[in-house]
Structure 1
Amino acid sequence: MAFQNPTRDEIKEILQASTNIAVVGLSDKPDRVSYMVSEAMQKKGYRIIPVNPAAETILGEKCYATLKDIPEPVDIVNVFRRPEHTPPIAEEAVAIGAKTLWLQLGIANDDAAKIAFDGGLQVIMDRCIKVEDSILLPHGKASI
Structure 2
Amino acid sequence: MNDEALKSLLESARTIAIVGLSTDPEKTSNKIGQVMIDAGFDVIPVHPKAAEVLGRKAYPSLAEVPVAIDIVDVFRPSDEAAGVAQQAVDAGAGALWLQLGISSPEARATAEASGLTYVEDTCIGATTLRLGVTARQG
Amino acid in structure 1 at the alignment position of 2:90 = A
Partner of 2:30: 35
Residue by residue, what CA displacement relative to the aligned partner does 1:85-141 show, whole Å, maximum 9, x if unpaired? 011100010111111100000000010111011011000000000111111125x35
CA distance in 1, matches of 2:51, 2:92: 24
Aligned residues: 136
RMSD: 1.1
Instruction: Report the residue type matching 1:94 in the other structure.
Output: V
- Secondary structure in structure 1 of the residue aligned to 2:31: helix
Query: Corresponding residue for 2:69?
Result: 74
Q: Is 1:110 paired with 2:105?
A: yes
Q: Which residue of 2 aligns with 1:17?
A: 12
Partners of 2:13 and 2:135 within 8 A in 1: no
User: CA shift at 1:77, angstroms?
Assistant: 0.2
Tell me the CA shift for residue 15 of structure 1.
0.3
1:64 matches 2:56: no
TM-score normalized with structure 1 length? 0.91
Q: Work out which of the residue numbers 31, 49, 55 in structure 1 matches 2:44.
A: 49
- The higher-RCO structure (CA 8 Å, 6+ apart) is 2
Q: How does the TM-score come out when normalised to structure 2?
A: 0.95
Name structure 2 gaps, 5 residues minimum: none
